[in-house]
Amino acid sequence: MDVALSRTGAWVLRIFFALVVLFLYAPIVILVIFSFNDSAFPSFPLSGFTWRWYHQFLVNGELRAALETSAIVAAFSSVGAVLLGILASIALVRRRFHGKSPVSALLLSPLVIPYVVFGISLLLFFHAVGIPRTVLTVVIGHVVITLPYTILVLMPRLQQIDVSLEEAAYDLGASRLRTFRSITLPLLLPAVVSAFLIAFTTSFDEYAVASFVVGSRLTFPIYLYSALRFPNQLPQVIAVAVVVITISLVVVVGAELGRRLAERRLGAEG
């Protein structure tokens, strides 16, 4: 007898799970269907197949510019957050110092701050200091909110890496930096890649904070939000949505598979 679930119980839960998955994916499937629907309004009955909306967004310069801006913002902020995250994680995992718990609480606190509060704080700050709102101000905000994610991904991996490997290198005369470069970093790399991907996708998709500090160059979510107010742009936006959701699903699944592959390899070596 199974101690956790009866046979009927397992079946009920299986069906419930399937229904929830259906509920989660149905809206996405509906977007896919209507992205090919030959009508300016997403409504029934369906009126034939078209590539028109995909073609329209491909030639939409504003949209392409917004995607480009978001890619730049996401690239800079994720690299920044990962670099800061590596420094902070090494300190938190490998060093002992007074006040470690308040320091780690501070480093993780952007996780829980309501984005509306943080966005407004940054807005008032840049206003007070006299920094004009540009792509840079968005990057600054995104580094703050993605930093805790990178730390949360990097720290467990760092804890797994055997400290004696680093000590061996050090005993053999390698400098601290050299030890990090040739021992720690290669072992940490899978986590660095996941941290980078998480930070990148979070930044690429971030609307709330960006909406307060964005300048005249719109990021993709900001552009999307403004496009949502014009019904004639809706089918195009749906087509973009399908492309973006597909790409992010592929990246997510790919990253997960890659991480597990790397972990299996490391497990085999250890």
What residues from 1 to 60 belong to the interface with another protein (CB under 8 A)? 1-6, 9-10, 13-14, 16-17, 20-21, 23-25, 27-28, 30-31, 34, 41-45
Q: Tell whether residue 85 is a contact of another protein (CB under 8 A).
A: yes
Maximum pairwise Cα distance, the chain: 74
Q: Tell whether residue 264 is a contact of another protein (CB under 8 A).
A: no
Q: Tell whether residue 183 is a contact of another protein (CB under 8 A).
A: no
Q: How far apart are CA 233 and CA 37, in angstroms?
A: 14
Residue 47 · residue 37 · CB < 8 Å: yes
What is the SS3 assignment for 46?
Answer: coil
What is the SS3 assignment for 112?
Answer: coil
10 vs 189, which CB is nearer to another protein?
Answer: 10
Residues 142-161 that bind another protein (CB under 8 A): 143-144, 147
Q: Quickly list DSSP for 134-189.
A: SHHHHHHHHHHHHHHHHHHHHHHHHHHS-HHHHHHHHHTT--HHHHIIIIIHHHHH
**Exactly one of 8, 48, 61, 112 binds another protein (CB under 8 A); which one?**
112
**Exactly one of 47, 109, 182, 226 binds another protein (CB under 8 A); which one?**
109
**Exactly one of 60, 75, 79, 125 binds another protein (CB under 8 A); which one?**
125
Least distance from another protein to the Cβ atom of residue 92, Å: 9
